[in-house]
Amino acid sequence: MAFENNVDVEHPVHDVRSEAIKNFEKKGFPSKKEEAWKYTSLNNLQKIDFSIFPKEENALEYKDVKKYFLHEIDTYKIVFIDGIYSSYLSETTHDGVDICLMSAALAKPMYQQVIDVYFNKVASKDESLTTLNTAFSREGAYIYIPKNKMPRKPIEILHFATGNEASLMLQPRNLVIVEENAEVQIIERHQSLTGNEVLTNSVTEIFAAENGIVDYYKIQNDSHTASLIDNTYINQKDKSVVRVHTFSFGGKLTRNNLNFYQNGEYIDSTMKGVTILGDKQHVHHHTLVHHIEPNCESHQDYKGIYGDSATGVFNGKIIVDKIAQKTNAFQQNNNILVSDKATINTKPQLEIFADDVKCSHGCTIGQLDEDALFYLQTRGIPQKEARALLMYAFANNVLATVRIPELKTRINKLIANKLGVNLGFDL
Amino acid sequence: MLKIKNLHAQVEDKEILKGINLEVKPGEVHAIMGPNGSRKSTLAEVISGKEEFEVTEGSIELDGEDLEDVAPEERAHKGIFLSFQYPVEIPGVSVTNFMKTAINESGKAKGLEDMPANEMLKLIREKSELLEIDRKFLSRSLNEGFSGGEKKRNEIFQMAMLEPKVAILDETDSGLDIDALRIVANGVNKLKSKDNAVIVITHYQRLLDYIVPDFVHVLHDGKIVKSGGKELAMELEEKGYDWLKQEAAI
């Protein structure tokens, strides 16, 4: 089962896993009775008989899935098809940095020391879905960037589901370690190519050492039968910068549990998101920033546009410990509801124990600015197009911090597409 | 060309325009002056068709066509342009892409095909030179982080692109330093022809030194209380508005 296929039975990871199994058995799946899951129900998903390990391997041609890659530029690629690594579609490296497979990192003694220090260290030991992943994950991305290094190009982690199984559950496990003064850019995407049910329960651990910089982009534009539970845990040291951008444009149910732990001073943590949903889609952004040391900053900016019967949740928790003086924590969640049936629940949770801090939060749920609409109309742009253009501008505001220009253009186009805006990008 | 007859308008049961009469012929420049709160901007927005205001009496005609129930975008297609006092910021939409959308939507309303990209670029280059606008400026997000002067210059650039019959400039001079004022005014003057008209809304004489009006109207409490030639503007600059308010009260 799982990593056991290729990892020595003596490996300490097995102890971690059996403990995780025990913990999961104790807790089971989260229910709506738990505060954190009040607005997101997994009941319907639990009724589906998911196959955890697909029976046969499937192959994909690059030309058929090219559009899901950031093909405008050269990237490293770690690609999985139905949870199984595709060496054919991937491009990994060990040249100065390690961009490879989790199973390989666990199996080879040369990585043992790093694994001992980092694997399952920041991930929760008792959150049930995280323990489920720890117990049953079989593959994922392993990214290790040593001191003062930066990979030559961004890294793409792609998961494809082909529909080989009537319903498939995937549990990828990623580990990203960025040492002192090192830097990395990662793009993660889950893509179902089928109408069959897919449930992904992903765990990513990110460690940023002193002065490390991590840019992590999550593209969630999946099919109507694909659900994703993303659990991301980030441990930051002094002066490190970690930015996570989450673009949620589709999927049946998407839950983003994003947890930042600031274990040092002068840290910058940034979380940004654009959510554009329709039909009966559901997205829940659940963030936590724990300010443990003084002089750190966190920035949260989530924009949502909800149409049809889509539902959204934003729950942003900020904890400022007593010694974490001079903390600057900002949180912003703005939403536009385009239809009467769409709903959004937004909830800031601030627990501040220090007295010399700057914390702000703001939630808005509203319609478009009528003055702005009038402005566009006086330029001859019909009301319908003007509305779409304003929504585009509203969402786009978040993209200023996207540092890969080609990705920014790609997201621009996705947003425009989603909103039916024709801006003639050829110009 | 533009004929406003006994125009009354209200917002939430409050009358704000109280019987305005104004006729603007091709080739003319009209200035509308008046103290704060005299409803100068309201008049501009009513002419442009802002839905918040309800016209309760009277009419606005453009080339003999009543504009009642005509949407703002259609008024734009017919040739009305409003340069805003406070232009709106649209992040993520470049000046170029915005103009392309506006031009092609206007074209579509007239049954025209989209303008080919090379023609569009040529037009944009030509008009931006008129306003001494830098190339880099055109790829920036519309009005986002623009200085006051840049915003106003950009408004007149849009006017140059859309070539309206009647352009209303709402406090285009506010927030401009003298150099920017000269560039903006020169731009407007170069766009002037015997076939179009300009309505300049302003507090001060300053802009009218550059864009010389044929007629000056003073608006007070939703009514035109005095009209005259360009010398009226100078008189206002010298004497202020109080004497007119008193005159109007009698």
Distance CA B89, CA B148 (A): 12
Spell out the residues 6+ positions from residue A128 whose beta carbon is closer than 8 angstroms to its own. A23, A24, A27, A28, A29, A30
Boundary residue ending a domain (A217, A244, A263): A263
Q: Flag if A380 and B87 touch (Cβ within 8 Å).
A: no
A393 and A249 share one domain: no
DSSP state of A370: H
Is residue A6 very low, low, confident or very high in pLDDT (cuts 50, 70, 90)? low
Find the CB nearest B101 among A378, A423, A426.
A423
Reported confidence tier of residue A427, pLDDT bands at 50, 70, 90: very low
Q: A240, A263, A286 — which closes off a domain?
A: A263
Tens of pLDDT, residue by residue over B56-106, are: 999 999 999 999 999 999 999 999 999 999 999 888 788 998 999 999 999
Taking the C-alpha atoms of residue A399 and residue A414, their distance in angstroms, rounded to an integer, is 12
User: Are both A91 and A215 inside the same structural domain?
Assistant: yes
Phi/psi of residue B71, each to 5°?
A: -65, 155
Alpha carbon distance A395, B88 (integer Å): 16
- pLDDT band with cut points at 50, 70 and 90 for residue B153: very high
List alpha helices for chain B, DSSP H.
40-48, 72-78, 95-109, 117-130, 135-138, 148-162, 178-191, 230-239, 242-249
- Helix/strand/coil for B215: strand
A388: in domain: yes
- Residue by residue, DSSP assigns B10-52 as EETTEEEEEEEEEEE-TT-EEEEE--TTSSHHHHHHHHHT-TT
Residue A249 lies in a domain: yes
Question: Directed axis angle between helix A128-136 and helix A13-27, to 10°?
Answer: 140
Q: Is the distance from CB of B60 to CB of B47 less than 8 angstroms?
A: yes
pLDDT for the residue numbered A424:
56
The pLDDT value given to residue B176: 87
The answer to whether residue A347 is domain-embedded is no
Q: Which of A227, A242, A263 is the last residue of a domain?
A: A263
- Angstroms from B46 CA to nearest CA on chain A: 11
How far apart are the C-alpha atoms of A348 and A333, rounded to whole Å? Answer: 9
pLDDT, tens digit, for every residue of A331-374? Answer: 999 999 988 999 999 999 999 999 999 999 999 998 788 899 99
Q: Return d(Cα B250, Cα B238) in angstroms, integer.
A: 22
Tokens of B205: 């004489």
Q: Would you tell me which CATH number, out of the four given (3.40.190.10, 3.40.225.10, 3.40.50.300, 3.30.530.80), belongs to the domain B2-249?
A: 3.40.50.300
Chosen from B70, B105, B121 to mutate, greatest number of chain A CBs within 10 A: B105
- pLDDT the model gives residue B22: 96
Say if strands A197-208 and A173-178 run parallel, antiparallel, or are unpaired.
parallel
- Which stretch of DSSP H or E encloses residue A63? helix A62-65
Alpha carbon of A42 to those of A80, A190, A199: distances in Å? 25, 19, 11
Distance CA A47, CA B126 (A): 64
Mean of the per-residue pLDDT values of chain A: 92
Contact B88 A375 (CB under 8 A): yes
Give the single-character DSSP code of A414. Answer: H
Per-residue confidence (pLDDT) for residue A3, from 0 to 100:
62
Classify B172 as helix, strand or coil.
Answer: coil
- pLDDT for position B250: 60
Hey, are the CB atoms on B91 and A393 less than 8 Å from each other? yes
Rounded CA-CA distance B66/B59 in Å is 7
The conformational region for residue A314 under phi > 0 = left, psi -120 to 50 = alpha, else beta, is: beta
Question: What is the per-residue pLDDT across A393-415, written as a single tens digit (0 to 9) for each?
Answer: 888 878 889 999 999 989 988 88
Q: Looking at the structure, do residues A8 and A135 belong to the same domain, yes or no?
A: yes
Is A395 within 8 Å of chain B by CB? yes
Contact B81 A378 (CB under 8 A): yes
A258 and A126 within one domain = yes
Cβ contact, residue pair A383, B77, below 8 Å: no
B158 to chain A, any CB pair closer than 8 A? The answer is: yes
Mind listing the pLDDT tens digit for each residue in A238-276? 999 999 999 999 999 999 999 999 999 999 999 999 999
DSSP β-bridge partners for residue A156: A77, A187
* pLDDT score of A1: 43
> CA of B88, closest CA in chain A: separation in Å?
6
Host domain of residue A385: 370-427
Straight-line distance from the first to the last Cα atom of chain B, in angstroms, rounded to the nearest whole number: 33
For the stretch A176-208, pLDDT in tens is 999 999 999 999 999 999 999 999 999 999 999
- Domain count of the fold of chain A: 2
Task: Give the tens place of pLDDT for each residue, A101-137.
Answer: 999 999 898 999 999 999 999 999 989 999 999 999 9
Q: Enumerate the H helices of A319-397 as residue ranges.
A: 370-378, 383-396
Domain positions in chain B: 2-249
Strands B166-170 and B80-83: what pairing?
parallel
Q: Does B123 touch chain A (CB under 8 A)?
A: no
**Rounded Cα distance, A318 and A329, in Å:** 8
Which chain A residue's Cα is nearest to B110?
A: A380
Domain presence at residue A352: no
Q: Please report the pLDDT score of residue A152 as a whole number.
A: 95
- pLDDT for A53: 74
What span, in angstroms and rounded, lies between the C-alpha atoms of A257 and A123?
11
Distance CA A328, CA A266 (A): 10
pLDDT band, residue B237 (cuts 50/70/90): confident
pLDDT-derived band at A219, boundaries 50, 70, 90: very high
Name chain A contacts of B97, Cβ cutoff 8 Å: 423-425, 427
Provide the shortest C-alpha distance from residue A372 to chain B (in Å). Answer: 6
Phi, psi (deg, nearest 5) at residue A383:
-55, -45
Decide if A141 is inside a domain. yes
Whether residue A50 is predicted with pLDDT greater than 80 in this model: the reply is yes
The answer on pLDDT for B164 being more than 80 is yes
* Both structure tokens of A58: 């499937």
